[in-house]
Amino acid sequence: MANFPRVGRLVVGGVEYPAAITVRALMELEDKGISIEGVLTTEGRRWTNLLTLITLAINTGIRLTGSEMMPVDADALADCIDISDLGDLSEQIAGLLGGKNRTVEADPPKN
């Protein structure tokens, strides 16, 4: 799937990674008890949850693009991120989601 249309980019520690947040990724977050809203709002933000989301988004992007990059792990990313990166990373993640107020409409099934 080299041209998956919803793959964006996340820049972490000066390295640009392909990244995507798919339904499969959201389901994996749910399984870990993490909500996307909680990661993106200051009230519910925890570093562990943010790192989990970033790691998942990057590894999804790598898989979907067929990139030769190695999958990343949260521990390695934790060493590349400091508190001053928080706002920028949240904006990048919101960009992957298409913004907070994104509306997706689907056509009803045809009988």
Tell me the C-alpha distance between 80 and 95, whole Å. 21
Q: Are 90 and 99 in contact (CB under 8 A)?
A: no
Indicate whether 60 belongs to any domain. Answer: yes
Q: Which residues contact 70 (CB under 8 A, 6 or more apart)?
A: none
Is residue 23 in some structural domain? yes
Residue 111: what pLDDT? 55
pLDDT at 99 over 60: no
Enter the tokens of residue 101: 């107020």
Q: Rounded to an integer, what distance in angstroms lies between the CA atom of residue 70 and that of residue 59?
A: 9
Residue 105: inside a domain: no
Q: Is the pLDDT of residue 102 over 60?
A: no
Name the domain count of the chain.
1
Residue 58 pLDDT > 50 = yes
Is residue 72 predicted with pLDDT exceeding 90?
A: yes
Q: Is residue 38 in some structural domain? A: yes
Judge contact between 77 and 51, C-beta under 8 A.
yes
Round the average pLDDT of the chain to a whole number and report it. Answer: 79
Return d(Cα 77, Cα 15) in angstroms, integer: 10
Does the residue 3 lie in any domain? no
Does some domain include residue 110? no
Q: Quick check: is 2 in a domain?
A: no
Give a yes or no: residue 21 inside a domain. Answer: yes
Report residue 33 CA to chain centroid gap: 16
pLDDT band at 100 (very low <50, low <70, confident <90, very high): very low
Residue type, 78: A
Full residue range of the structural domain in which residue 66 is found: 8-97
* Distance from C-alpha of 21 to C-alpha of 2, rounded to nearest angstrom: 16
pLDDT tens digit string along 22-36?
888 889 888 988 887
